[in-house]
Amino acid sequence: MSGNVLVLAEHAGQQISEGTYELLGKARELAASLGGVAEVALLGPRDLAAQLGAAGVVVSVDHPVLAEYLPEAYEQALLAVLAERAPRLLLMSNATAGLDLGAALSVRWQAPLAAYVTDLAAEDGTIVATAQILGGKILAEVELPGERGIATVIGGGLPAAAGQRDGMPEVADITPPDGLDSLRMTLQQVIEPQGGDVDITAADMLVSVGRGIESSDNVELVQELADALGVPLSASRPVVDAGWLPKTRQVGKSGLKVKPRAYLAFGISGAPEHLEGMRGADLIIACSTDPGAPIFDVAHYGTTVDLFDLVPALTDRLG
Amino acid sequence: MLIRIVLGAVITLAGLAAAGWRLAWLGRLVRAGAPAPGRVNGAAARLRAEVVEVLGQRKLLKRWRSGLPHALVFWGFIILLFTIVEAVGDTFVSKSFAIPVIGHAALLGFIEDLFTVIVLGGVLVFSVTRVVDSPARRDRKSRFYGSHTRAAWITLMMIAAVMITLLGYRAAQVNTGDFPYGWAAFASHGLAALLRPAGLGVNAGLETFLLLANIAVIMGFLVFVTYSKHLHIFLAPLNVAFSRRPRALGALGDLPQQPGAAGAGQLADLSWKQLLDTLTCTECGRCQAACPAWNSGRPLSPKLLIMDLRDHLMSSAGEPLAAPPRGAAPDGAAAAAAPAGAASPEGVAGTAAAGLVPGVISPDVVWSCTTCGACVEQCPVDIEHVDTIVHLRRRLVDEGRIEPAVQQVLQDVAQQGNSFGKSGRMRARWTRELGFGVKDARREAVRYLWFVGDFASFDERLQAMSRRLAGILHDANVDFGLLFDGEHDDGNDVRRVGEEGLFQMLVEHNMSAFRKASFAEIFTTDPHSFNTLRNEYPSYGLDKPVLHYSQLLERLLGDGSLAVDPLGLRVTYHDPCYLARHNRLTDPPRKVLRALGCELAEMPRHGLNTFCCGAGGGRIWMTDGPQPGERPSENRIREAVAVGVDYFVVACPKDFVMYTDAVKTTGNAERIQVVDLIQLVDRARRSPVADLEAV
Amino acid sequence: MKAVPDLVEEIELTPDGTGIDREFLTFVLNEWDAQALEEALLVKDATGAEVTAAGLAADPDIDQALYTALAKGADAAVKISGGADGGLQTRERAALFAAYLTSEPADLVITGVQAPDDLDGQLPPMLAACLGLPHVSVVVGVEASGDTVTVRQEFAGGRLQELRVRPPAVIGVQAARQAPRYAPITRIRQAMQAGGLRDVAATPAATVPGPSVRRMYRPEKSGHAEMLAGGADEVAARIVDLLQARGLVKG
């Protein structure tokens, strides 16, 4: 069997996603152990291959219907790639595409799948993955038996730099399968989130609020601190779901990933989905009355002082 | 004479017919309500209530500035019934008509005149009150905000007219020589002196005219009464007779028996007593003035809620599903009040689909209630607001129309048995840090079963308090035990949110745990637990005495089990709603404070008039939008600071949490500190440490 | 619908360390499945569609979830037996549901996009692959009209894609358009008394192998935060120092 590792490339707006580079870096490492190369399946615009210099081979399937992500189209195209390239291991991110395709391909490509993977290694030809389940409470070390396997990987945990390199890789073209012309679903429109608001991914520092602020009244209290620091306010999912802040401020797996120089978290417990969005920050200071809150595992500094005492104290100090 | 009789008869019969017709119609409306169990038993208590509350005007006299004039006017009306009989006699029988037995006793004449003057005086006082406290001047702060002020003025004028025509015709009678009473009837004679110069003929004419006028005004007033809020003069005694005894507090009232979905979606889902409540409302606004929700700017006014139900009842006229126009044109004040306590801004009541909520009452109004019972406590005609609000909530819960935060809490309670969303197994984790073991009442017999409650078990600040209490009891050699994770939420607030089914499930669970355990008495940390265990669990089989921990501490201090040194602190005590108002327990905590050598300075709103912290009725679980006014807890802290004490003493876990936050948010952290009775006892008992600062 | 361990609980591992100890856990309905049920009921509210709630007999306390679904407005509830007992992996579940759906097809199969313990993959795509149906996951809204179904698929950062799908199809719901409606206990009890759970037996087809678990363990709390001591003022001072040291605040 081949020792190749295939990564599904994700792209939006003519840009390869950071998650793809993380996977590519890991793929190179694994492929080296397995005696193969790291390949990237690029479905859609062929010219994006130029951004994938670190790949051994870019396998391209270009068809108009692949220009934007569409589950059924991507599944058909990827199956064609898998049939042609027969890799040892398929890597995908745990984002929407991974949730759509991974498990389906497990059945159709007849390969065991490990989901919510945080790390992988190849031990004497066996793929071993570490997966995070039950809200992050339990880690499972699993083996993928057989001659092929699939892993969907949680983003933000692997170094992206390992997958980035200049240069143009080798490109292998695959004929788009016939099925792409007779799909049972179509893309109607893309809806971008309402703009006109701050881009929290560009901020140097973020003041972030979670469920611990208890009510929308108290957002104002923390906004004052953010203003005093001259930085934007961001939030975890519960705050956005409750409508206290717009979706554009949401940090996390289904929100935005941020890597500011400092991230101040108030009343955020640190659910895995949120941590995924901010664990890369340089300095994380967390304030939560629960000493066992998972946020303290990724924070550099923490305090259990009540945020209703701390926030005004900070605001005063900053004048 | 014939003219008098004919005119008099016409006026009287017309008046009686109109009033009778209207009353019969109102009676039909009320009878369309659902059956109300248990409203006729306990005749002795009901009779007593009639004497004390109606004749004795007990609740009215609580606020004596308006209560005393009202009592006098009320007694005046009763006395002046004699004059009505005499007037009728004068009209239809003869000018020398006398009531049998009493005849023309001088005393009667005097009392009649006296009360005529008193009533006029009362009308004056009421008029001044309505000007000084008018909604036009004081807006929401006026208890008359939303009341039909025009009807009130008409009432006052008509009463004055009755008195004036009465006095007038008596005075004229003095001058025609037909007046049967001597100088003791001072007002009649006094006025007569003024009229005498007009001459005999004029006075005779005046006598006839004013007598008929008197009857006409009385009949007019009678009819007017049946069409206005003044109906309470007939309905109040009726409503008081059928109200819950001893009071509509503590346990919730029995549910109206109804098939189909739970709760009140239409008028027919309310019991006839609840409908009678709405007709009895006098719009006095004492409930509104006492309501913590209204006082914090929220849209709930108990008065407006009852009035809105009444208006809907009257305009739906037997067809509860019809969409009525807004009844008799409300005057400006009521229309302005429409957004507050009413449905849509247009004031148009609901269609069949919309139902009572949101068709007549907005959901915001229903959910603003803390179930503190201040309204019920104040109401002079024994309206049972809390029961009606909870019944409206039951329908909202049945239809799933509750905010997600509350849903989550109810789901947590159903799943894990507590409102904190924590694992039920963690309930007694707070005991781990005690230096001693706590008995498990499921395994060994104990004297006292300590029902800890959700807040005292799961909230970190309160866990420390629970440990303190455990320490005190342990050192005093009290034999107590817990149910550990066998204890589930007591269900008091779950029931008041309207989830009757979940409440029953909790009771069943807790009762099953009680039956398996062995104990003599129960004591609770939380007054809410105390309330439901004492008042509602017995109908599910609980037959052991239930205490609040303040009672237990009182006991221990009294029998010497706890030795203490006097603290000499200057404190004020906040009565928890569910101890004081719902269960009339105001003494034990005060006795404890006295035993601890504390100087107690009372806040104006203390004892049964205590002001709610705002957490009850499930409100502590609700996350409704920005707070429109000052929070009740903040309002209360300001009241305490004004008294000038160092410590604000509480006896309820929720109070502790609410007031500790309020002290911070009102910036009074340097001026006053919130402490629980437990902390004071701990400090005072002869044992080291027990730092009052560290909770 | 799937019953999963209640995540507020402490989760114990089995003695051999390869699985979780299920005996003393409380099981609750998978939160995503609750969202899926709500979305299905919303489609029913809008179009009058018929909703059947289906669960596996092997799931602990699944009856409670099925009766709750009925109380919320589902038209029917089905309990599927077959396959192994307890702790079924996703592919085994997919095979069982697929067997049931082959004998009683539906126009739309709606289920939660994932579950906290689906180590070997998520149900909607697997189920779709078993049945040969199109599928879309991470859906936040389903609208059906006539014979087309429009779904909104959610991506990172709040971006959405609207897709039109030709049924029959499988939808994996991330979140319903509104919070799941509340089912009052009284109604759930009424549903239980009325009965109404239909038992169905199914024979699952063979499945692809899954990952084999070497061990399960709790994450070490490595790299725990340095906790700042003191009251609000001291901590505030410390934080300002930390920010100043990095030039994020004017010193």
- Virtual CA dihedral for B655, B660, B663, B664, nearest 10 degrees? -140
Mean pLDDT of B679-689: 78
- DSSP classification of residue B101: T
What is the average pLDDT value for chain B, to the nearest integer? 87
Nearest CB neighbour to C217, from listed A116, A139, A144: A139
Contacts of B460 in chain A (CB under 8 A): 289
- 8 A C-beta contact, residue B683 and residue B470: no
Contacts of B458 in chain C (CB under 8 A): none
Q: Quick check: C188 and B501 CB within 8 A?
A: yes
pLDDT digits (tens, 9 = 90+) for B273-328: 999 999 999 999 999 999 999 999 999 999 999 999 998 988 876 444 333 333 33
pLDDT digits (tens, 9 = 90+) for A122-150: 988 899 999 988 877 788 999 999 899 99
Closest chain A residue to C230, measured at CA: A305
| B544 CA: distance to closest CA in chain C (Å) | 28
> According to the model, what pLDDT value does residue B686 have?
67
Cα A257 from chain centre: 8
Q: Quick check: A107 and C249 CB within 8 A?
A: no
- Predicted-complex ipTM score: 0.84
Nearest CB neighbour to C184, from listed B415, B425, B501: B501
Closest chain C residue to A148, measured at CA: C209
> According to the model, what pLDDT value does residue B470 have?
95
Q: Where in B4-86 does DSSP place strands (E)? A: none
What fold, for B413-556? Rossmann fold (3.40.50)
List chain A domain ranges: 5-181, 200-318
- Give the CA angle between residues C3, C5, C7 to the nearest 5°: 130
| Phi, psi (degrees; rounded to nearest 5) at A235 | -155, 165
Mean pLDDT of B174-198: 85
Residues 243..272 of B with a Cβ closer than 8 Å to C: which? 262
Closest chain C residue to A253, measured at CA: C156
B neighbour chains, 3+ CB pairs within 8 Å: A, C
Measured CA distances, C143 to C146, C155, C164 (Å): 10, 19, 10
Measured CA distances, C223 to A80, A132, B307, C235 (Å): 44, 18, 63, 20
Contacts of A136 in chain C (CB under 8 A): 219
> According to the model, what pLDDT value does residue B539 have?
95
Interface mutation target, options A134, A211, A215, chain B, most CBs of B under 10 Å = A215
Nearest CB neighbour to A106, from listed C126, C138, C228: C126
Nearest CB neighbour to A216, from listed B460, B626, B664: B626
Q: Containing H/E element for B229?
A: none
* C177–B contact, CB cutoff 8 A: no
- DSSP classification of residue B651: -
pLDDT digits (tens, 9 = 90+) for B374-433: 999 999 999 999 999 999 999 999 988 998 889 989 999 998 999 998 888 889 999 998
CATH of region B267-398: 1.10.1060
Mean pLDDT of B11-20: 90
List chain B domain ranges: 2-30+50-227, 267-398, 413-556, 565-684
Sorted by sequence, the CB contacts under 8 Å of residue B97 that are 6+ apart come out as B86, B89, B90
How many CB atoms within 10 Å of residue C91? 27
pLDDT digits (tens, 9 = 90+) for A252-263: 877 888 888 999
| B262 CA: distance to closest CA in chain C (Å) | 9
Q: Quick one: what percent of chain B has pLDDT higher than 90?
A: 54
Mean pLDDT of C239-245: 88
Contacts of C37 in chain B (CB under 8 A): none
Residue B469 has pLDDT above 60, yes or no: yes
Closest chain A residue to C229, measured at CA: A303
HEC-encoded secondary structure of chain C: CCEEECCCCCCCECCCCCCECCCCCCEEECHHHHHHHHHHHHHHHHHCCCCEEEEECCCCCHHHHHHHHHHHCCCEEEEEECCCCCCCCHHHHHHHHHHHHHHCCCCEEEEECCCCCCCCCCHHHHHHHHHCCCEEEEEEEEEEECCEEEEEEECHHHCEEEEEECCCEEEEECCCCCCCCCCCHHHHHHHHHHCCEEEEECCCCCCCCCCEEEEEECCCCCCCCEECCCCHHHHHHHHHHHHHHCCCCCC
Q: Containing H/E element for A197?
A: none
**Hey, which of B52-56, B114-118, B533-537 has the most confident mean pLDDT?**
B533-537
> According to the model, what pLDDT value does residue B182 have?
82
Contacts of A216 in chain B (CB under 8 A): 623, 625-626
> According to the model, what pLDDT value does residue A101 have?
94
Nearest CB neighbour to C185, from listed B402, B404, B501: B501
> According to the model, what pLDDT value does residue A206 have?
93
* C205–A contact, CB cutoff 8 A: no
Measured CA distances, B73 to A118, B121, B126, B163 (Å): 82, 9, 10, 11
Nearest CB neighbour to B407, from listed C9, C26, C179: C179
Residue C223: pLDDT band (50, 70, 90) is low
Helix (H, G, I), strand (E, B) or coil at B650: strand
B413-556 and B565-684 share one fold = yes
- Virtual CA dihedral for B453, B454, B459, B465, nearest 10 degrees? 0
| A116 CA: distance to closest CA in chain B (Å) | 25
Q: Quick check: A185 and C169 CB within 8 A?
A: yes
- Weakest mean pLDDT among A18-27, A141-150, B339-348, C48-57: B339-348
Q: Quick one: what percent of chain C has pLDDT higher than 90?
A: 29
Q: Quick check: A217 and B627 CB within 8 A?
A: yes
A neighbour chains, 3+ CB pairs within 8 Å: B, C
* A193–C contact, CB cutoff 8 A: yes
Residues 495..554 of B with a Cβ closer than 8 Å to A: which? none
Sorted by sequence, the CB contacts under 8 Å of residue B279 that are 6+ apart come out as B26, B29, B30, B231, B235, B310, B313
Q: Which residues on adjacent β-strands are paired with residue B599?
A: B570
Residue with the larger pLDDT of the pair C86 and B533: B533
Backbone dihedral region for residue A237 (phi beyond 0: left; psi -120 to 50: alpha; all else: beta): alpha
> According to the model, what pLDDT value does residue B345 have?
31
* A189–B contact, CB cutoff 8 A: no
Residues 38..57 of A with a Cβ closer than 8 Å to C: which? none
A5-181 and A200-318 share one fold = yes
Residue B194: pLDDT band (50, 70, 90) is confident
Q: Quick check: C186 and B398 CB within 8 A?
A: yes
What fold, for A200-318? Rossmann fold (3.40.50)
- 8 A C-beta contact, residue B502 and residue B618: no
pLDDT digits (tens, 9 = 90+) for B248-287: 999 999 887 777 788 999 888 999 999 999 999 999 999 9
Task: Tell me how far apart the alpha carbons of residues A26 and A130 are, in angstroms, rounded to a whole number.
Answer: 13
What is the average pLDDT value for chain C, to the nearest integer? 85
Q: Which CATH class is domain A5-181?
A: alpha beta
Mean pLDDT of B473-489: 94
Can you count the helices (H) and strands (E) in chain B?
30, 9
> According to the model, what pLDDT value does residue C6 have?
58
First to last CA, chain A: 66
Burial of B3 (0-12, 13-18, 19+ CB in 10 A): exposed
pLDDT digits (tens, 9 = 90+) for A37-95: 999 999 989 989 989 989 999 999 999 899 889 999 999 999 999 999 999 999 999 88
Sorted by sequence, the CB contacts under 8 Å of residue B581 that are 6+ apart come out as B249, B372, B373, B374, B377, B575, B608, B610
Q: Compute the count of residue pairs across chains A and B with CB atoms less than 8 Å apart.
A: 13
What is the average pLDDT value for chain A, to the nearest integer? 88
| C189 CA: distance to closest CA in chain B (Å) | 8
Q: Which residues on adjacent β-strands are paired with residue B449?
A: B481, B522
Provide DSSP, B397-434: HHTT-S-HHHHHHHHHHHHHSSTT-S-GGGTTGGGGGS
Task: Tell me how far apart the alpha carbons of residues C164 and B457 are, in angstroms, rounded to a whole number.
Answer: 51
pLDDT digits (tens, 9 = 90+) for A225-269: 998 888 999 999 888 877 788 888 889 877 888 888 999 999 998
Q: Quick check: C122 and A115 CB within 8 A?
A: yes
Which tokens is B2 given?
């014939």
Only one residue has tokens 């670190």, namely A54
Residue with the larger pLDDT of the pair A284 and C219: A284
* A90–C contact, CB cutoff 8 A: no
CATH architecture type of domain B565-684: 3-Layer(aba) Sandwich (3.40)
> According to the model, what pLDDT value does residue B694 have?
45
For chain C, list the domains and their CATH numbers. 3-201 (3.40.50.620)
Mean pLDDT of C76-80: 89
Contacts of C184 in chain B (CB under 8 A): 262, 397-398, 400, 499, 501-502
